[in-house]
Amino acid sequence: MRRPRWAISAMTAMVAAVALVGCDSSSGSAAGRLVVSDGRAELIRPGEDRLEVDGSRALKFGDRVRVREGTAEIRFPDDRRLELRPGTDVELQAAPDTSVRPTLFGGDLLVISGGSPVTVSFNGSEVAVQGDARVSRGVAVLVASYKGTAQLSSAGSTLAVPALRQAALPATGQFPSQVKPLEPSPSDAWDQRYLSDTIELTNRLTARSEGFTAQMPGNEGRTVQYFRDLVPRLAAEPAFTSSLVNPARAPGETLVGAAITLEGKRGTFAERWAAVFAFRDAGAGWGLVALDQGVSRVPLLDLIETALSRGPAEFAVGPMTGPPGSLVRPSGGPATTAVPPTTSTTVRPRPGATTSTTTPRAAPTTTTTVVGPLNTGSPLIDNTVNSLVQTLTGLLNSLGGG
């Protein structure tokens, strides 16, 4: 009995399907690929011995990876990936929609979402990253967002962590009420990758701010008129009013914040001013504030340097122009004059002030006169004093080379 051709085709397809299912059940569904670029990682697979990996290996759902030395990556479709470093302990689990969901047990993950979000679980909570973010689990869980947004969720509460912000979920489980400025570390490789220029700019802006404040006498530099005179662009800005200048704020802080506001383009002047100082007051470094406002470093520094050149007077002590004072020879030789060091003064006019020239006063001249023998009429006193004077005179003569 010949079977119809369509029946044979159907049976062939069923056999192939069964074979594919059997193969999948024996080998496990692919969950990603582990790539150890340098160092070594440990792969723990249920029902198998631990395996040390120093190259590339396909991962299944349920696989657990621990990095012992160096760095590693776990790559997923859509250009999504996790970067791992020593101490990272992560397991790949299946989400309800059959996508992969990493679970972080300890250490640090750099999550790069690529085309679609990556959700990382930890101790009953999770964070969905759309962008680039660092997730660290130690005593507390820290989520630091470099780009995009990370959505932190725990026990029905959610908190969005925008770029350049971070949030911590303590071991007590108390959910954070707000985000804080990201705190980059010069020694962290991931912070350096994303924020090295920002860290360096923070140092430069902080130095200029503190230097400007140190030169301001009394309460000077704390009024809107002062900064209008100092920065012409502020004088041309109608929204720059006295209500914006906080007299309790250090003058250098106001100067740097005003410069970032002027160079920013996000929102109105008043909105930028409020955002700049709110972020700064929350603890953000000046470089981070500038990056948050999309400000370029070169025009920002140029604006601040121009303002500083119009700023308060600077006094510099110059080198000595004459020899130091020498010992006076009291033996009747010529008297010598002690010449004090000369101090040179460089003066920059303050905004609105006129320039004046001060002529330094001549250095005073010191002359020593040698007095003759003492004669009080009392031989005992006269002889004792005159003998002491002669002894000291001889000692001074020997020191003076006479």
Tokens of 99: 């996508």
pLDDT at 381 > cutoff 60:
no
How do 141-154 and 157-162 pair as beta strands?
antiparallel
Which residue type, as a one-letter code, is found at position 384? T
How do 64-75 and 56-60 pair as beta strands?
unpaired
Cα separation, 259 vs 272, whole angstroms: 11
Across the chain, what does the average pLDDT equal? 80
Tokens of 67: 């990095």
pLDDT of residue 375: 55
Query: How sure is the predictor about 304, in pLDDT bands with cuts at 50, 70 and 90?
Result: very high
Q: Lowest-confidence range among 174-178, 253-257, 325-329?
A: 325-329
Query: How many CB atoms neighbour CB 98 within 10 A?
Result: 8
Going from N- to C-terminal start, the domains of the chain cover 28-181, 189-309, 375-402
Query: How many CB atoms neighbour CB 16 within 10 A?
Result: 10
Query: How many CB atoms neighbour CB 117 within 10 A?
Result: 19
The conformation of residue 342, written as its DSSP 8-state character, comes to P
Fold of 28-181: Jelly Rolls (2.60.120)
Distance (Å) of CA 335 to CA 66, 390, 395: 85, 18, 17
Q: State the average pLDDT over residues 211-228.
A: 92
pLDDT of residue 142: 97
Q: State the average pLDDT over residues 145-158.
A: 96
pLDDT of residue 400: 53
pLDDT of residue 312: 72
pLDDT at 328 > cutoff 80:
no
The residue ranking higher by pLDDT, 95 or 261, is 261
Query: How sure is the predictor about 348, in pLDDT bands with cuts at 50, 70 and 90?
Result: very low
DSSP-H helix ranges across 223-358: 224-230, 232-235, 251-263, 269-281, 286-292, 297-309
Tokens of 190: 């991931």
Q: Of 274, 269, 111, 277, nearest to 194 (Cα)?
A: 111
The conformation of residue 55, written as its DSSP 8-state character, comes to S
Q: Are 366 and 338 in contact (CB under 8 A)?
A: yes
Cα separation, 329 vs 244, whole angstroms: 66
Query: How sure is the predictor about 361, in pLDDT bands with cuts at 50, 70 and 90?
Result: very low
Query: Dihedral of CA 168/172/175/176: which sign?
Result: negative
pLDDT of residue 398: 53
Cα separation, 251 vs 285, whole angstroms: 17
